[in-house]
Amino acid sequence: MSSPTGSSSEPPAATPPVCPRHPDRESYTTCQRCGRPACGECQRPAAVGYHCVDCVKEQQRSAPVARSVFGGRAATGRPVVTIAIIVACVLVYLGQLVDDRVTEELAFVPVLGQDEPWRFVTAAFVHSPTQVMHILFNMYALWICGQYLEPLLGRARFVALYLVAAVGGSVGYELLASVPHDADSYPGGWFTPTVGASGAVFGLFAAVVVLNRHLGREVTPMLMMIAINAAIPFFVGGIAWQAHLGGAITGAAVAAVIAALGRQRREYHWGALAGVLVVLVGLAILRYNAVTLSPQMLGG
């Protein structure tokens, strides 16, 4: 009996394996985790063989996050947030040298803060354009404290500490600034602009003391640093000690709530920090409601 013309007993040719992410590329290397083919672009070296990029991403998502002692994401390597703040201050300072309006628009002035609330924060990035030591000292203090606090708290909590302490410094200046009641006392501190990162830096000083006390570490050198800088306004004029005090109290409060909640209750840190900020806003509003100025004073 004869077979049909053209029939064949040969099996069909096998389809070569291709990379799922790049179907136009053949790949005979398989992922050690999922067993799928992976082209050269999608392969990642593993302890044994290769893993595909999808498995590597999934492994990274499921891996436990390294935490600092107070629950923030562990910050290793360079203190990038500290460096970023310093760079921002230097860039603003250069802008001040070029255009006086930078200082005028960013400095904190109590009489302007109610209608221009951004000044409560931006003042911490502005420095005296005529006194280079002002920015140099503040940036040096920020660098010293930042290198210590950033890995201790984690980057997100560190930048929150700096910004909330900056607001606290401005609120402290607003609460304690003298308000003119007549022509003899005009203009008073209520109309006097203040600039500088020192309020936020004092917040970092105080945070170091609170956190080190919680950890059982030495606090004497930082207490001496705070005492020396707190005494300077008694001998040198033109320093807003009110901002230093407000920043220090705020920084201590932020550090205290983080230390009290600890690593185990880290999910409550942000709510607690928001609470500190709400208190500052409330104090600022109360102060504004309590101050009454004559139309002549408001008109300059």
Tens-place pLDDT, residues 123-151:
999 999 999 999 999 999 999 999 999 99
Which CATH homologous superfamily contains domain 80-298?
Answer: Rhomboid-like (1.20.1540.10)
Question: Residues 6 or more apart from 36 whose CB is under 8 A from it?
Answer: 20, 30, 52
83-107 as b/e: b if 16+ CB within 10 A:
eebbeebeebbeebeeeeebbeebb
Regions of the chain short of the pLDDT cut 70: 1-14, 62-67, 74-75, 182-188, 294-300
For residues 229 and 113, give the distance between their C-alpha atoms in angstroms, rounded to a whole number: 26
ω into residue 187 within 30 of 0, thus cis? yes
pLDDT in the model for residue 9 = 56
Tens-place pLDDT, residues 60-118:
776 666 667 777 776 677 899 999 999 999 999 999 999 999 999 999 999 999 999 99
pTM, rounded to two decimals: 0.77
- Please report which residue ranges of the chain form alpha helices under DSSP H: 53-62, 80-98, 100-106, 110-113, 119-122, 132-153, 155-176, 198-215, 220-231, 241-261, 269-290, 295-298
pLDDT in the model for residue 70 = 75
Per-domain residue ranges for the chain? Answer: 17-57, 80-298
| DSSP states of 70-96 | TSSBP--SS-HHHHHHHHHHHHHHHHH
For residues 237 and 128, give the distance between their C-alpha atoms in angstroms, rounded to a whole number: 14
Cβ atoms 277, 266 nearer than 8 A: no
